[in-house]
Amino acid sequence: MRLRSGLLATVAAASVLFGAAPAVAQDANTSARLNKVESEVRALQRKVFPGADGKFFEPQINAPTTPAPAPGMPSITPLTDVLTRMDSVEAQITQLTAQVEQNTNRINQLEAKLTAAAPPQSDFVPGPGAVAPLTPAPANTPAPAPVGAAPLAPAPVAAAPKPVTPPPRPVAPSNSRIDAVKAIVKPQSADAGDDEYSYGFRLWEAKFYPEAQQQLKLYLEKYPRHARASFGRNLLGRAYLDDGNPTEAAKWFLQNFQADKRGDRAPDSLLYLAVSMKQLKDTKRACIALSEFSETYAAEAAGRLSSVYLNTRNGLTCS
């Protein structure tokens, strides 16, 4: 009776073991697997219950020879495959759970930082035991002077720096001035040098002094030994003097006098050199130029240039 109970338990365990394999492996050939399980159960019965002669019945089927796995290669069964898959799924679930916990921790930290960085509410009311926010003291508030002490003088206030005035830009000539200069005709004769000088003289005569200066310099550069070179240097000095620049004018007057003391306009340059020195308030040099002029060019001082000479001496105290 005990042997029969053990047989039934063995048969039940075999049925469960071999019947669960198709469900786990999900094989389409279910009928063939069931027939194989039944054959193995019958063989097990004959082996457990021998015949009358005391011999065992040979089983109807033999267990198929399982090929030995190659060295280094694991044996794979349906149950092993299922367990491997379950281990993989559990590992993935564990990884996802850890990642979710890390993300939750990071979100909590960010929320804590945002809460700490938020400005305090204006309508905050301190609760019991809370410390009310301190009111900052007014800056630079002088302490009250003692009774009877002299009032303190206010601190000196630094003067604001004066704005730097940029130098005036040169004023571009107006259209009317340009048209007026163009209206002055340049002579066209056989003497090109005389034409250049005459054009500069016409500009000076029309009181276009900057244009006259430019034209006379051009004339002296192109024709330094021309017959009217003495006229040109003297007239260039006059153009600067009439334009309110006695310093530059004095340079051209002195140069013309020293270049040729017998030149046509050497007396004029020496006299106007004295005029330039007088405008510069250099009385000493003005008197020297006047003395030289009266001695060297006495005829001009008494004749053609007498009015300019007398006007220049007027107001000067020369020894």
Taking only the tens place, the pLDDT of each residue in 157-207 is 566 666 666 766 666 667 889 999 999 999 999 999 999 999 999 999 999
Q: How far apart are CA 310 and CA 281, in angstroms?
A: 17
> 45-49, 105-109, 148-152, 205-209 — which one is most confidently predicted on average?
205-209
The chain-wide mean pLDDT, for the chain, equals 75
Q: In the chain, pLDDT over 90 holds for what percent of residues? A: 44
Residue 153 has pLDDT above 60, yes or no: no
Residue 296 has pLDDT above 90, yes or no: yes
Nearest to 58 by CA among 72, 70, 44: 44
Could you report the per-residue pLDDT of 210-260, keeping only the tens digit for each? 999 999 999 999 999 999 999 999 999 999 999 999 999 999 999 999 999
Q: How far apart are CA 10 and CA 41, in angstroms?
A: 9
Higher pLDDT, 257 or 18: 257
Q: How far apart are CA 221 and CA 213, in angstroms?
A: 12
* pLDDT score recorded for residue 3: 42
* pLDDT score recorded for residue 188: 94
How does residue 106 score in pLDDT terms, banded at 50, 70 and 90? confident
Q: What is the DSSP string of the chain?
A: -HHHHHHHHHHHHHHHHHHHHHHHHT-S-HHHHHHHHHHHHHHHHHHHS--TTSPPPPPSS-PPPPPPPPTT-----HHHHHHHHHHHHHHHHHHHHHHHHHHHHHHHHHHHHHHHHSPPPTT----TTPPPPPPPPPTT-PPPPPTTPPPPPPPPPPPPPPPPPPPPPPPPPPHHHHHHHHHSPPP--S-HHHHHHHHHHHHHHTT-HHHHHHHHHHHHHH-TTSTTHHHHHHHHHHHHHHTT-HHHHHHHHHHHHHH-TTSTTHHHHHHHHHHHHHHTT-HHHHHHHHHHHHHH-HHHHHTTTHHHHHHHHTT----
Could you report the per-residue pLDDT of 37-77, keeping only the tens digit for each? 566 655 555 554 455 555 544 545 455 555 555 555 555 56
* pLDDT score recorded for residue 253: 97
Phi-psi region of 170 (alpha: psi -120 to 50; beta: other; left: phi over 0): beta
* pLDDT score recorded for residue 200: 96
Q: How far apart are CA 283 and CA 274, in angstroms?
A: 9
pTM of the model: 0.48
Instruction: Give the residue-averaged pLDDT of 262-266.
Output: 96
How does residue 98 score in pLDDT terms, banded at 50, 70 and 90? confident
Phi-psi region of 202 (alpha: psi -120 to 50; beta: other; left: phi over 0): alpha
* pLDDT score recorded for residue 246: 97
Higher pLDDT, 137 or 189: 189
Higher pLDDT, 136 or 90: 90
* pLDDT score recorded for residue 24: 46
Higher pLDDT, 28 or 248: 248
* pLDDT score recorded for residue 108: 85
Q: Is 248 exposed, middle or buried (0-12, 13-18, 19+ CB in 10 A)?
A: middle
Higher pLDDT, 103 or 294: 294
Instruction: Give the residue-averaged pLDDT of 14-39.
Output: 54
Q: Which amino acid is at 315?
A: G
Residue 309 has pLDDT above 60, yes or no: yes
